[in-house]
Amino acid sequence: MPDGLDQVTVSLGRLHTLVADLQHQAADCRQQLHAAREREEAQFRQSMDAMFQEHRRRMELALRPAIVRAWQVVAAAAGVLILMFAGSLLLLKQANERLSAAQARAEAAEVDAQVQEAARHVEISSCGGRPCIRIDRSAATWKSEGREYVLVGD
């Protein structure tokens, strides 16, 4: 039986060599697959980067007119707002001038009304062709700027 044992030993040696060769081939295949995967990943990254850059360039070209229009709209809106603000200021100035003029007229009318009210208490006549008034010497007087006035009315 030593012959059979030698054959088994030789067969086991061949089997061990075959397994070692297969393991070596599997390791080589793994390394080749890993290298191929890394090359493919690098190629994929480059392709994706190129596609992204092209997509970005196309988007910028497509959006450029819209961005220009948006800025034009913003500028036009700002211009309209500035014109409206200037117009409002002009209208406010005119309204203020009208109010001031109306206040001045009202004050003048008030003074005129006071003068007319006072004139109702004074008798104006003609004395030898010259105007004259009749006043009550016992009435109270008012002094202003070195002159003396007789208070007329209540």
| 96 and 50 assigned to the same domain | yes
Q: How many residues does this entry show for the chain?
A: 154
Q: Residue 60, CB half-sphere, CA atoms under 13 Å: how many?
A: 6
Is residue 5 scored above 90 in pLDDT? no
| 94 and 136 assigned to the same domain | no
| 43 and 56 assigned to the same domain | yes
What digits encode the pLDDT tens for the residues 49-98? 999 999 999 999 999 999 999 999 999 999 999 999 999 999 999 999 99
How far CA 131 is from CA of 120, 139, 144, 150, in Å, comes to 16, 21, 23, 17
The two beta strands, 141-144 and 130-134, are unpaired
| 127 and 111 assigned to the same domain | no
The alpha carbon dihedral of 101, 103, 104, 108 has a sign of: positive
Domain count for the chain: 2
Confidence bin at 135 (pLDDT 50/70/90): confident
| 83 and 136 assigned to the same domain | no
**122: alpha, beta or left, given left = phi > 0 and alpha = psi -120 to 50?**
beta
Report percent pLDDT > 70 for the chain.
Answer: 94
pLDDT of residue 9: 87
Q: How many CB atoms lie within 10 A of CB 152?
A: 19
Instruction: Give the residue numbers spanning the domain of 154.
Output: 123-154
Confidence bin at 10 (pLDDT 50/70/90): confident
2 vs 104: which has the higher pLDDT: 104
Q: Span 101-126, mean pLDDT?
A: 83
| 71 and 132 assigned to the same domain | no
pLDDT of residue 119: 73
| 111 and 53 assigned to the same domain | yes
| 111 and 131 assigned to the same domain | no
| 116 and 128 assigned to the same domain | no
Confidence bin at 152 (pLDDT 50/70/90): low
| 127 and 107 assigned to the same domain | no
Is residue 138 scored above 80 in pLDDT? no
Is residue 154 scored above 60 in pLDDT? no
d(CA 7, CA 105): 138
Confidence bin at 1 (pLDDT 50/70/90): low
| 146 and 101 assigned to the same domain | no
Q: Name the burial class of residue 121, with classes exposed (0-12), middle (13-18) and buried (19+) by CB atoms within 10 angstroms of its CB.
A: middle
Confidence bin at 2 (pLDDT 50/70/90): low
How far CA 107 is from CA of 99, 103, 112, 119, 152, in Å, comes to 12, 6, 9, 18, 20
